Structure 1
Amino acid sequence: MRITAVVFDMDGVLIDSEPVWEQVRRDYVAEKGGRWLPDTQKRLMGMSTGEWSRYLSADRDADGLGVGGSAEQVAREVIERMAAHYDRAVPLLAGAVDAVQRMSQNWPLGLASSSPRALIDTVLGRTGLIEFFDVTLSTEQVERGKPAPDVYLTVARALRRNAADCAAVEDSSNGLRAAHAAGMRVIAAPRPEYPLDPEARTLATHVIDGLDELTPALVVADS
């Protein structure tokens, strides 16, 4: 397969932020008198800012978490708490910087993240990773979040590449579904705390246990 670009997810791939997102939103829901369900975190993974803030703010009888207030207020307050965490330290995953550098020596790189634009800029700026990415995009900048393919298709266009000639590195089931729906080759790097749905796992050409396994040879290798 001819690969002409590599696109990374951020949360759960480059930074160990999913536990932070879960704790911040779980605490916020509890403080606001809402309900946190067993499958809430799984449902939230991949949602855009607008989608998850509406989900948190919506009434319980409307299948929301019932925290009240407007979606805009919910988003602002949760993002402020996340930014405070990142101001103390960015939880880079082991091998993230080396993996990005390796890929950048072979292909232009894109970033397709469900994090809000402000947090993407904070993470990439504080870690110095911004210099390796040609295009970075948040799902809040497209119509639909993951598992819809919008963010991946838009990043491919911005890179001036066909999506079918790109490889994506993802950790979540919804992320894998989004990249696959865009037509990209998918490399799964799941976190042990959030195992992939069996159906989503089948969409990956390769499944890796850590970013040290992400090499140019693996990216172009058949399954």
Structure 2
Amino acid sequence: MDACVFDLDGVLVDSEPVWEEVRRAFVADHGGTWQPDTQSRLMGMNTSEWAAYLRELGVRMEPDEIARGVVAQMAARYRDEVPLMPGAVAAVRRLSDAGTLGLASSSPRQLIDVVLDAAGLTECFAATVSTEEVPRGKPAPDGYLEAARRLGVDPRGCVAVEDSSNGLRSAHAAGMRVIAVPHPRYPPAPDALALAWRVVPALDALTPESLTWVKSPD
């Protein structure tokens, strides 16, 4: 294995319930209508994509205004408390002691930096990517490919750690082997989960020994 690339939301941070609460309230407060499949559709979208989608739900604002409003509310919530997933800090530190780590997240850069700083994990990652910084969000592979480029490694020599359907599809499309850590409240679709090389119940199962035999194709 050349590197391990983590997702953030739903893997290291239990943020999906917070995102849903904040965006659902924002839509309701600004004249829109939340749909039954809205949360699953939003997972993995980059900022410009989900802001445009909320406008399609009837929010009477421009996408850049929507994005600023939602991200400001998320940052305020994180300043009160970052809801880290069980075992997140230990897993990152355990793997960073053994090899190179990257991060490819759909969160805005502002929130990535707030979370990693609050968790004391900033120095554990050799490269971090927000899908704001690439043309397309997940399920497109752009974020994972950019993470591999910044790390200076072949994506085929990387393992990705993901939880969502769009995240699993994104990492797989980038050519990475994907470890799925399904979120109990937002489990991935069966077809997306089938793309995983390995499925683990929690971050405690991630150890250097469990990843060392993965090699790039010849």
| Alignment partners' CA distance in 1, 2:80 and 2:172 | 35
Aligned to 1:67: 59
% of aligned pairs identical? 59
Q: Deviations over 1:9-55 (max 9, x none)?
A: 00000010000000000000011110101100000000000000011
Pairs aligned (count)? 214
Give 1:195 shift.
Answer: 1.2
Residue correspondence of structure 1 range 199-214 to structure 2 within 5 A: 199-214=191-206
Matches within 5 A, 1:88-107: 88-107=80-99
* TM-score of the superposed pair, with normalisation by structure 1: 0.94
Is contact 1:187-1:219 (8 Å) kept?
no
Alignment gaps of 5+ in structure 1: 58-63
The answer for the alignment partner of 1:19 in structure 2 is: 17
Q: Runs of 5+ in structure 2 lacking a partner?
A: none
Stretches (4+) displaced over 3 A: none
CA distance in 1, matches of 2:57, 2:144: 28
Offset, 1:221:
5.5
Counting only pairs closer than 5 Å after superposition, residues 117-196 of structure 1 correspond to structure 2 as 117-196=109-188
1:68-100 deviations in Å (ceiling 9; x for gaps): 211000000000000010010100111001100
Per-residue deviation, residues 97-119 of structure 1 (Å, max 9, x unmatched): 11001111221110100000000
* Partner in structure 1 of residue 27 of structure 2: 29
1:52-63 correspondence to structure 2 within 5 Å: 52-57=50-55
d(CA) in 2 for partners of 1:116, 1:133: 17
Q: For 2:22 and 2:154, how far apart are their aligned partners in 1?
A: 37
